[in-house]
Amino acid sequence: MLAFLIEAAEAGLLAPEISSKFTYPEDRQRRMAQTNTLLRTQQRLGRALRAQKPEASVRYHNVPAYRWYITSAGVEYYVAGGYKARATKRALVREQRIVYEQKLLAYVTRVQLLHTISTEERNQLVLEMYLDGITKADIGLIVRLTRERVRQIVNEFGVQPVRPSIVTRRRHPKKSAAELEALVRRAATGWQE
């Protein structure tokens, strides 16, 4: 989006003109709404400016639309490659999530192999998983304990709370036993699904 505004330079672009350069979402109204949201975000961050008065838009049934301009901060951000940082972070989170799921799989198979496990061995395993970055909720599902009981076991060992990774901190969904089984099946097929 910033690239389009840089190309337009001082002439600026109407929001519908910017929207027409994108192909997703396919519905034109949704694409326009998404473009406006992105433009307002760039404005809030000081990278784009909106004209004071709307103009008639030829692309959007002569509905009034605002002309947008790029700021010097927007040019600096674009030239520095700041727009690439988000994509890099997303890829990193995706890789971390796969590693996390592989750790889960390893522990699930380990627990399945240990048909009967003593309380001490279970507590050691809970501590090991916790220190390995597995969430208390997932540990509880694997060893069939509540999250609270997992917390109590970890506290018995006098371990300081581990700060969750970026994978488990942001919108990490709760897993049911069925989801863990699905995870095992997915890992068995080489993460192809």
Break the chain into its structural domains and give their ranges.
Answer: 2-80, 89-188
pLDDT tens digits, one per residue of 129-185: 999 888 888 888 888 899 999 999 999 998 887 766 655 544 445 556 677 667 666
What pLDDT is recorded for position 126?
Answer: 92
Instruction: Give the whole-angstrom CA distance, residue 129 versus residue 124.
Output: 9
What pLDDT is recorded for position 146?
Answer: 92
pTM (whole model) above 0.85: no
pLDDT tens digits, one per residue of 7-51: 888 888 888 888 888 877 788 888 888 888 989 988 998 989 899
Indicate the pLDDT class of residue 76, thresholds 50, 70 and 90: confident
What DSSP string describes 45-69? TTSEEE-SS-EE-TTTTT-EE-EEE
Whether the Cβ atoms of residue 12 and residue 25 lie closer than 8 Å to each other: no
